[in-house]
Amino acid sequence: MTSRAPAGPLPFAAVVLASLFVLFAPASATPSTLPPGADKFVHLALFAALAWTGRRAGLPVVALAVGLLAYAAGSELLQGVLALGRTPDPLDAVVDVVGAALGLVAARRPARR
Protein backbone atom coordinates (compact mmCIF):
# COMPACT_ATOMS: atom_id res chain seq x y z
CA MET A 1 0.00 0.00 0.00
CA THR A 2 1.16 3.49 -0.78
CA SER A 3 0.28 6.84 0.73
CA ARG A 4 -1.69 9.37 -1.20
CA ALA A 5 0.33 12.22 -2.58
CA PRO A 6 -0.73 15.74 -1.65
CA ALA A 7 -3.24 17.20 -4.09
CA GLY A 8 -2.24 20.81 -3.60
CA PRO A 9 -4.36 23.66 -2.29
CA LEU A 10 -6.81 24.16 -5.19
CA PRO A 11 -9.37 21.46 -4.29
CA PHE A 12 -9.36 22.63 -0.66
CA ALA A 13 -9.75 26.27 -1.70
CA ALA A 14 -12.68 25.34 -3.96
CA VAL A 15 -14.45 23.51 -1.12
CA VAL A 16 -13.80 26.44 1.26
CA LEU A 17 -15.41 28.81 -1.27
CA ALA A 18 -18.36 26.46 -1.70
CA SER A 19 -18.74 26.26 2.08
CA LEU A 20 -18.87 30.04 2.36
CA PHE A 21 -21.76 30.10 -0.10
CA VAL A 22 -23.60 27.18 1.51
CA LEU A 23 -23.19 28.39 5.08
CA PHE A 24 -23.63 32.13 4.59
CA ALA A 25 -26.06 32.52 1.70
CA PRO A 26 -29.19 34.45 2.68
CA ALA A 27 -32.25 32.36 3.45
CA SER A 28 -33.83 33.64 0.24
CA ALA A 29 -31.03 31.97 -1.77
CA THR A 30 -31.34 28.56 -0.13
CA PRO A 31 -33.64 25.89 -1.57
CA SER A 32 -36.88 25.57 0.36
CA THR A 33 -37.98 22.38 -1.40
CA LEU A 34 -35.46 20.07 0.24
CA PRO A 35 -36.94 17.19 2.23
CA PRO A 36 -36.70 17.47 6.03
CA GLY A 37 -33.21 16.65 7.26
CA ALA A 38 -31.55 17.09 3.86
CA ASP A 39 -29.64 20.09 5.17
CA LYS A 40 -27.95 17.79 7.69
CA PHE A 41 -26.62 15.64 4.85
CA VAL A 42 -25.32 18.79 3.13
CA HIS A 43 -23.51 19.82 6.34
CA LEU A 44 -22.06 16.31 6.77
CA ALA A 45 -20.81 16.12 3.18
CA LEU A 46 -19.47 19.67 3.19
CA PHE A 47 -17.36 19.23 6.32
CA ALA A 48 -16.18 15.78 5.22
CA ALA A 49 -15.02 17.38 1.96
CA LEU A 50 -13.30 20.21 3.85
CA ALA A 51 -11.42 17.72 6.03
CA TRP A 52 -10.51 15.35 3.21
CA THR A 53 -9.31 18.05 0.81
CA GLY A 54 -7.52 19.83 3.65
CA ARG A 55 -5.52 16.71 4.44
CA ARG A 56 -4.85 16.10 0.74
CA ALA A 57 -3.55 19.68 0.59
CA GLY A 58 -1.07 18.76 3.31
CA LEU A 59 -2.62 20.63 6.23
CA PRO A 60 -1.61 19.21 9.63
CA VAL A 61 -4.37 17.03 11.07
CA VAL A 62 -4.60 18.70 14.49
CA ALA A 63 -4.65 22.23 13.10
CA LEU A 64 -7.22 21.24 10.48
CA ALA A 65 -9.42 19.49 13.06
CA VAL A 66 -9.31 22.47 15.44
CA GLY A 67 -9.98 24.88 12.57
CA LEU A 68 -12.97 22.87 11.35
CA LEU A 69 -14.36 22.61 14.88
CA ALA A 70 -14.13 26.40 15.22
CA TYR A 71 -15.64 26.87 11.74
CA ALA A 72 -18.55 24.57 12.61
CA ALA A 73 -19.38 26.49 15.79
CA GLY A 74 -18.57 29.89 14.38
CA SER A 75 -20.64 29.48 11.24
CA GLU A 76 -23.74 28.66 13.28
CA LEU A 77 -23.15 31.61 15.60
CA LEU A 78 -22.67 33.95 12.64
CA GLN A 79 -25.88 32.73 11.01
CA GLY A 80 -27.70 34.06 14.06
CA VAL A 81 -25.84 37.39 14.16
CA LEU A 82 -25.62 38.34 10.48
CA ALA A 83 -28.68 39.66 8.67
CA LEU A 84 -29.09 36.52 6.56
CA GLY A 85 -32.60 35.55 7.62
CA ARG A 86 -31.23 32.22 8.83
CA THR A 87 -31.60 30.53 12.18
CA PRO A 88 -28.58 28.94 13.87
CA ASP A 89 -28.99 25.26 14.64
CA PRO A 90 -26.66 23.60 17.18
CA LEU A 91 -27.39 20.23 15.56
CA ASP A 92 -25.86 21.55 12.33
CA ALA A 93 -22.62 22.20 14.22
CA VAL A 94 -22.68 18.67 15.63
CA VAL A 95 -23.23 17.21 12.16
CA ASP A 96 -20.40 19.43 10.84
CA VAL A 97 -18.01 17.95 13.41
CA VAL A 98 -19.10 14.39 12.55
CA GLY A 99 -18.54 15.16 8.86
CA ALA A 100 -15.08 16.58 9.59
CA ALA A 101 -14.19 13.46 11.60
CA LEU A 102 -15.34 11.21 8.75
CA GLY A 103 -13.30 13.23 6.26
CA LEU A 104 -10.20 13.00 8.43
CA VAL A 105 -10.62 9.24 8.78
CA ALA A 106 -11.17 8.86 5.03
CA ALA A 107 -8.00 10.87 4.34
CA ARG A 108 -6.00 8.42 6.49
CA ARG A 109 -6.86 5.44 4.32
CA PRO A 110 -4.02 4.42 2.03
CA ALA A 111 -4.48 4.63 -1.70
CA ARG A 112 -5.36 1.47 -3.59
CA ARG A 113 -3.26 0.26 -6.46
Total domains in the fold of the chain = 1
**CB-based contacts of 79, cutoff 8 Å, min separation 6:** 23, 24, 86, 87, 88
Residue 47: other Cβ atoms inside 10 A: 30
| DSSP string covering 99-112 | HHHHHHHHHHSPBP
Q: Is the pLDDT of residue 1 over 50?
A: no
Q: Which domain holds residue 108?
A: 38-113
> Rounded to an integer, what distance in angstroms lies between the CA atom of residue 58 and that of residue 60?
6
| pLDDT classification of 2: cutoffs 50, 70, 90 | very low
Residue 14 lies in a domain: no
Structural domain contains residue 82: yes
**Least confident window among 6-15, 26-35, 70-79, 87-96:** 26-35
Would you say residue 9 has pLDDT above 50?
Answer: yes
Has residue 13 been placed in a domain?
Answer: no
